[in-house]
Amino acid sequence: MPYRRLPNTDQARLRAMEACLEKGKITPMRELAFSQQSLERLQMFYPKFSSAIRQLQVSKENQFKRAKDYGEVVKKAKLYISHFMQVLNFGIMREEIKPEVRDYYGMDVCTKAIPPLNLESHILKWGEKVIVGEQKRTMQGGSPIYNPSIALVKVHFEEFKDAYRHQKMLQNITNRASALVSNMRDEADSLIQQIWNEVEDKFDAYPEEVKRKKASGYGVVYVYRTSEIRRMEASKLQRDIIFS
């Protein structure tokens, strides 16, 4: 026997509510299978829940649209910072620059290793250190590093910082929208369950199959268990063999 299954996605919740709202529009109150109190509660809650879900979808779409461009900006900033550090190390290897200058950039004086740039926080940290360090070194009489110049590094680093702030803003908007929807789900589930209980109680006197059919008209969802589906398929196969 199939069992009733409550919605487990936001879109399914909306569909369940919309089916009941539609019944409320076209069915006289005395014939409606759920109470006027539940209908009024649904009419108040549905617009808020639907609006919250739309806002979450829009927020996710905006964040997704920006993600590719943002990834390119991150990649470019990382590339220029890394290359600048490599050129600095090449100058040290050629003995054109003393190893001690690494200290200007906050780098380990005794190692040629490039600091990690895998995370956004790494790029923010080392982009700032490289720019400040190059300014300090050149102010002390050091020759500027080129290919890339610190000016180019700064251009891409500033572009990254702007994009990072914007991306964080989009993430915060999405997180707030997601939290709002999450906080409303319990009420949505409670409301749907209350209405479906009332609908099933209304048709309780009917045979099970008729009851399910009438309740389904209000959006109540019934599903068969996997074992039941297999038994029905096996039974159908036997019938097909007998009458073939």
Residue 2 and residue 228 in contact, taking contact as beta carbons nearer than 8 Å: yes
Q: What are phi and psi of 101, to 5 degrees?
A: -70, -20
Percent of the chain with pLDDT over 90: 89
Residue 133 and residue 105 in contact, taking contact as beta carbons nearer than 8 Å: yes
The helices-and-strands tally (H runs, E runs) of the chain is 6, 2
Sign of CA pseudo-dihedral 117, 118, 123, 125:
negative
Omega of the bond prior to 148 within 30 degrees of 0, cis? yes
pLDDT range class, residue 234, cuts 50, 70, 90: very low
DSSP letter string, 52-71: HHHHHHHHHHHHHHHHHHHH
Q: In whole angstroms, give the CA distance from residue 13 to residue 214.
A: 19
Average pLDDT score over residue span 17-40: 96
What is the residue-averaged pLDDT of the chain?
92
Q: Would you state the structure tokens that stand for residue 241, as one six-digit string?
A: 């063999």
Q: Would you state the structure tokens that stand for residue 159, as one six-digit string?
A: 């572009």
Q: What is the pLDDT of residues 211-224, one digit of tens each?
A: 999 999 999 999 98
Q: What is the pLDDT of residues 114-151, one digit of tens each?
A: 999 999 999 999 999 999 999 999 999 999 999 999 99
Q: Which residue has the tokens 């990834």?
A: 71
Residue 203 and residue 33 in contact, taking contact as beta carbons nearer than 8 Å: yes
Q: In whole angstroms, give the CA distance from residue 121 to residue 77.
A: 12
Q: What are phi and psi of 43, to 5 degrees?
A: -65, -30
Residue 105, amino acid: Y
Residue 243 has pLDDT above 70, yes or no: no
Tell me how far the alpha carbon of residue 146 is from its chain's centroid. 41
Return the H-helix or E-strand segment holding 4. strand 3-4
Residue 28 has pLDDT above 70, yes or no: yes
Q: In whole angstroms, give the CA distance from residue 55 to residue 188.
A: 17
